[in-house]
Amino acid sequence: MSRRESRGTTNHIITMKKVIISFLLALMTTGITHAVSYRGFANLGSGILIEPETDEIHVYFSVNTTHGAQLNRHFFIGAGVNLSLHDGENFYSGYGAIRYDYDITKKWSPFAEVKLGYQSPIHSYETNSINALYFSPSVGARLKLSRVCGLNFGLSYSPITRHYHYEYNYGDNSRSKCNAVFFNIGVDF
C-alpha cells in the first residue's frame, strides 16, 4: 500500500469515527440510550376492503405481531409479520414499524404508528395477487393495564394491489388497487 493510499484510508477511518461519535452524542442528548427496553405487540383487526373500480366491499381480517425496542416513553421501533385474510385471498407481510405514543406512563395515551414492508400472496382463488409494498398507518389509544402491559385500540388503513388474470379474456390482465380500513385491538407487553 502506498503512502497516498494509506493516507486516504486513514482519513476515511477518521471520518467514520467522527460520524459514529456524532451519532452516539445525538442519541445521548435525546435521552434515548438510557431507556431502551424490549416491547412486543399482538393485534387482531377486522374491517372492510373496498375495490374502487367495482365498488365491491369485502370483509377483511388481520393478525399481526411486532417486536422491537422501546427507545423512551414515546418512541418504539421494531419489526413484525402480518397475516391478512379476505374472500379467498390471503397475504403475509414482513415489515418495519415505528410508533409514537404520547406517553406510555399515562393511563390513556394516544398513538400513531406506521408499518412499512413487503406483502406477498399466500393463496388466491379468482386473482393472482402480486407482491407489493406493505404500508399501514394507524392511529389509536393505549390503555395502560400495568407497568409493562397495555391494551391498544386503533384504526388502520392499508392499500392492496391485486392483479387479475381471467382465462376467458385470453390473457387480458388488469390491476386493481384496493383500500382496506380496519379496527384493531391488541396487547403490548
Judged by phi (left if over 0) then psi (alpha if -120 to 50, else beta), residue 171 lies in left
Nearest to 138 by CA among 66, 52, 58, 53: 66
Instruction: Kindly give, in sequence order, each residue whose CB lies less than 8 Å from that of residue 112, ignoring residues fewer than 6 positions away.
Output: 99, 100, 137, 138, 139
Indicate whether this model's pTM tops 0.75: no
Q: In this predicted model, what pLDDT tens digit does every residue of 41-92 receive, in sequence order? A: 999 999 988 877 777 888 889 999 999 999 999 999 999 999 988 776 788 8
Longest dimension (CA), the chain: 71
Quote the DSSP letter at residue 114. E
